[in-house]
Structure 1
Amino acid sequence: MLRNVYLSKVINGSNSNGNWELSMMEAAVGISVFLEDKPSFDKAVTRYRNRVAAYVYLASDGALPKTVPGSGLSSRDQIVGYWQGQSTFMDGLTQETCRDFTHTGYGIADVAETVRIQGQDVYSTDVGTRLRQALGFQSKYQLGAAVPSWLCAGTSTWVSAR
């Protein structure tokens, strides 16, 4: 059932929202480990790495966040819309920071640790840098730091939910 029903549904991702696809890769990695299916594990890890790069912004990406190949996001307006209307990008901002912390958390789930246990180190790569930046960025606002006017228009549902 894991191989034929679940893995077959999640291994190719969604090409939709970042948290969907990253949650799907968390499932695909876990199932692949359980099934001892190295090709599926490698495919899920590759997709995870590509999606993290498009989910967490770093200044080294340039003026705009990276996108996933085939996403159809090519213009600034499309990318800003996909990033919940956020048009100023800072290290650690995620595609769903301006949506809420719950969905952001789904996107920065614990896939990296499962991958590490399986003998691959993504923490010392671009993935690790992005995850560290995302956790630092999100946590300061979740802990009550004042939201600057450039972030989520100075307000967000996650601010009032505190």
Structure 2
Amino acid sequence: MASATELPFGTRLIGETEKALNAILRRLLAGSGVGEPQWVTLNVAIAAGGALDEGALAGRLAQVRKVTGEDARARLRELEEHGLLTVLADGGPVVPTAAGLDFRRRVAARVEELTARLWGDRPEAELAAAGALLNTVLARANKELAGP
């Protein structure tokens, strides 16, 4: 049972946790000209390793971020304008620039430090149970979004 200061498991707890983590991310990104949508876009593009053309990457981003393909393409263009990504040919493969890789490395290092403070001391079984629950909720939410 939750104490007077703890929220019970549910949408409010998930929502407030998401808001707090996004506020921390905004603080880490402050002054960079990159916001949360661009940060996610950069990470997905780097994970793709240049294997996806602009259309395929935009499709993947639309899935991950739950946005339209147009929104995904706009975020790719913003990162290109910031010099963090480049499209190798008209509509061709999207690859991170050296500046993009360096920016991601620096911010990710700070995220890892923060992650260690937030849940690095939790037992492995607890983290596995939390991960399993959140993956179940995510899969069901994605099914709802894809539904009739």
Same-fold call, TM cutoff 0.5: no
More strand by share: 2
* TM-score (norm. length: structure 1): 0.29
* TM-score (norm. length: structure 2): 0.30
More helix by share: 2
